[in-house]
Every structure is written in structure tokens, then in C-alpha cells.
Amino acid sequence: MMRVMLATGKKVLVAMSGGVDSSVAAALLRDDGYEVVGAFMRLGSPGESLHEDDACGLDSQSTILNQKSTIKIGHQGCCSINDAKDAQLVAAELGIPFYVLNFKNDFGRIIDYFVDEYNAGRTPNPCVRCNDWLKFGRLWDYARSIDADFVATGHYARVEHSPGDGSRLLRGVDHGKDQSYVLFGTRTEHLRHMLLPIGGYRKPQIRQLAAELGLPVSNKPDSQEICFVPDQDYAGLIRRRSPQTVAAGEICDSAGQVVGHHPGHQHFTVGQRRGVGIALGYPIYVVDKDAESNTITLGRRQDLARTRLTADQANWLIAPPRDQLLRCTAKIRYNAQPVPAALRATGDDELAVEFDEPQFAVAPGQAVVCYEGERLIGGGWIKAAE
């Protein structure tokens, strides 16, 4: 496909996770003439283990690894040391410098957020927070320290830079892989310095490019897990981090009648159908969670229907529509399709979204992200739905 040359010769810091997407992103930028520097964010994922002879100084602020450095690991997954090794091998193949950045202390903030949100009865999205706080937060701070002009990632989204029209964040061409949702919190001042090289490609094309380039990760599976919960036992993590918060409570039906008991409301999310452990003679869903009373409410699917939501911590990539409703499409979770809606700014950092058709399982704590066509225009964190 045709690629647009933006600012060849300038320096770009590429967040390299050790996966095929960020690896090809680094290769494309190198081939476009950028001075590419690779960076792996060490976050302290469970199961990390370094051989004492091979530690390579990974507890320092940043460490450059050469081709002969060896990393040994007991855990495979997003942001693990094994992934650092893969990213190092790719950087060596591409002939670019490569650093491991120790963000372990910063990552603790994301885990605390995850635990606090579940304890408050909400459904968190740590991947969005990781992008906001680390990839386009702390990583950008590091980029400035090495005089980099841009930060790049391997997200399936697009950013267009125009001298007269500013910068716009767009959905990825591959709508099945589109990751613009998790980038909604990007600040406009950071958007001007963001590059997303693979957003104009589809996943099979990226794997083909990786194979043609001889990258060792061309067939590496995509990570599907939250990196700090590799066993997907969210409640177990919360119990370990805050044991006093997980306690047995009541399960009620939509009429308020007690129909069972649960081991802790943190085991459940709004919209959940499987694993409830209760049979009422009809398909049941978790339709509400009340952290204060430690109660789970079950109901039918129609009990999940919502036509309006409010959100806070809004981030706008356009002028906020304060005086009237703005037609848009909206996503209420990462793997949802955008649906027709209307949007309005209701305060300094608040917004409201009205859906043309009722939406199901609108979960407080998740993000709502809004679009005009392909362009991401803003979003916020869901507070409540009606």
C-alpha cells in the first residue's frame, strides 16, 4: 500500500513489546528514513526471573541490550522478560538501538487502579490506563530526554498530521483489529508527536511483512491476557492485594428477593451470564452490582438495556459540543461495534451519550469512545447508565 512520508530523518522512540505488530512498526519507520530507537517497558509482570549472570542492569532507569545479551524467563505473555528478549532480537535484526525501561514502580499505579475499581463495583480497563499513563505518559517523558520527535506504537489505529488542520486520530483500516478505543485518552499535545505505522494495514499483511523482513516474531501469537493477571483470576488478584475487601454476600433477583450467595462481588461483572452459579429457570445475567451492600442482582437480558449514559474524565480531540447534541457513533467496550448515538459535553470533564437504540451491559468503569466517521473525537469513563 502507499505510505505517506512525514518527517524522515527525525528521531522516533518505538514502544516494542516483542510482538509482531510493534516489530513491524519499527521496521516500517526505519525504512521510511526515521532514526528509530526501540524501547521495551519492563512492568514487573508475574513470573519474571532473571539469571543473575544475565540481568543486564534491568533495574536501572534504562539499559541498552546488545545482540549477545541473554535473558531467561519463567513466564510468557505481554510485557514479560521473554518478550523483552524477542524485542531485543528484532532490534538486532533491524540494526537499531534498543533500551529496556524500568517502569515497574509506575506500573504499580495501574494495578492499584484495577483493584480499586473492582472493589468499588466498577469494571476497569487497564489497557487504556496503560496507554494514558505509560506509553504516552512516562514513555513520552523518556522520548523527550533522548530528543526524540515522536513516540510510535504498533496499535491498529491511524494518526494524520496536517500543518493546517492539526492531528487527527482515526480507526484502523482493519476494523476487526481496530485499537483506537484504547487510545481515546491521548492528549492533543501528545497526538502531534504520535506515529502509528501499521494502522493502514490488515493483520495478515503485517505477518507477511514480518516474514519478508525475516523477523523472528512473524508467527508469534497475539497476547490475549491482562499482563498482570495471566491466569485471568481477577478476584484472586484482588483478594491477594486487598484481602479485607472480598467477602461473601447476597445474590438477588430483579424483584429484590435473595436467591443465593456469592464469594465476593469482585467475581462478577455487569452483563455476565456464565459462571453465576444460580438457576432461575430462564437465561439470567448480572444486571447490577452494589459494592456498598456487597449485593449482586440478576435479571433477564432486557434488564440490561440502557438508552443513555454519563461519563467523566472526558478527553476531547475536538472542541467539546456544549450547546447541542452532536451526532456520532459510540463504543461502550473495546470489542463492541460503534453504534449511532448523540453526544454532548455536560461539564468541564463530563459528557453524556444518548443511543438511538438501547445498548446492553453498559458497565460503569469502562470507557465510552465516540467517533465522527472514522475520526475519534472524544470519550470518557462511564459513571452511570439509564
The answer to whether position 350 is within a domain reads: yes
124 and 30 assigned to the same domain? yes
Which among 277, 299, 321 is the end of a domain? 299
pLDDT of residue 62: 42
Under DSSP, the state recorded for 220 is P
Report d(CA 39, CA 88) in Å as an integer.
Answer: 9
The answer to whether position 343 is within a domain reads: yes
Do the beta carbons of residue 85 and residue 74 sit within 8 Å?
no
DSSP string, 18-60: SSHHHHHHHHHHHHTT-EEEEEEEE---TT----TTS-TTTTS
**What are the φ and ψ backbone dihedral angles of 218, each rounded to 5 degrees?**
-60, -30
Q: What range does the domain containing 280 cover?
A: 247-299
295 and 348 assigned to the same domain? no
158 and 56 assigned to the same domain? yes
Q: State the cell numbers at 292.
A: 456498598
DSSP strand pairing (194-195 vs 150-152): parallel
In degrees, rounded to 5, the angle at the alpha carbon of residue 199 between the alpha carbons of residues 193 and 205 is 140
96 and 172 assigned to the same domain? yes
Our count of domains for the chain comes to: 3
Name the catalytic one among 78, 127, 227, 370.
227
The answer to whether position 93 is within a domain reads: yes
Residue 252 is a catalytic residue? no
Q: Which residues of the chain have pLDDT under 70?
A: 1-9, 44-79, 224-225
| 372: CATH | 2.40.30.10
153 and 119 assigned to the same domain? yes
Which among 190, 212, 234 is the end of a domain? 212
pLDDT of residue 44: 67
pLDDT of residue 134: 87
| 266: CATH | 2.30.30.280
The answer to whether position 95 is within a domain reads: yes
pLDDT of residue 57: 32
155 and 272 assigned to the same domain? no
What pTM did the predictor assign? 0.88
The answer to whether position 187 is within a domain reads: yes
Chain centroid to CA 179: 8
Q: What residues pair up with 328 in beta bridges, in sequence order?
A: 341
Model confidence pLDDT, tens digit, residues 142-183: 999 999 999 999 999 999 998 777 899 999 999 999 999 999
| 171: CATH | 3.40.50.620
Under DSSP, the state recorded for 364 is B
**368 closest CA partner among 379, 356, 353:** 379
Report d(CA 149, CA 359) in Å as an integer.
Answer: 41
Under DSSP, the state recorded for 365 is T
pLDDT of residue 223: 75
Q: What's the number of CA atoms in the CB half-sphere (13 Å) around residue 359?
A: 25
326 and 372 assigned to the same domain? yes
pLDDT of residue 35: 97
Report d(CA 303, CA 271) in Å as an integer.
Answer: 10
53 and 199 assigned to the same domain? yes
Residue 130 is a catalytic residue? yes
pLDDT of residue 343: 97
The answer to whether position 4 is within a domain reads: no
Q: What residues pair up with 366 in beta bridges, in sequence order?
A: 364
pLDDT of residue 135: 83
How many helical (H) and strand (E) elements, i.e. helices and strands, does the chain have?
8, 18
Which among 283, 299, 315 is the end of a domain? 299
171 and 63 assigned to the same domain? yes
Q: What residues pair up with 150 in beta bridges, in sequence order?
A: 12
70 and 137 assigned to the same domain? yes
61 and 156 assigned to the same domain? yes
Q: State the cell numbers at 170.
A: 482515526
Name the catalytic one among 56, 127, 130, 328.
130
The answer to whether position 31 is within a domain reads: yes
255 and 323 assigned to the same domain? no
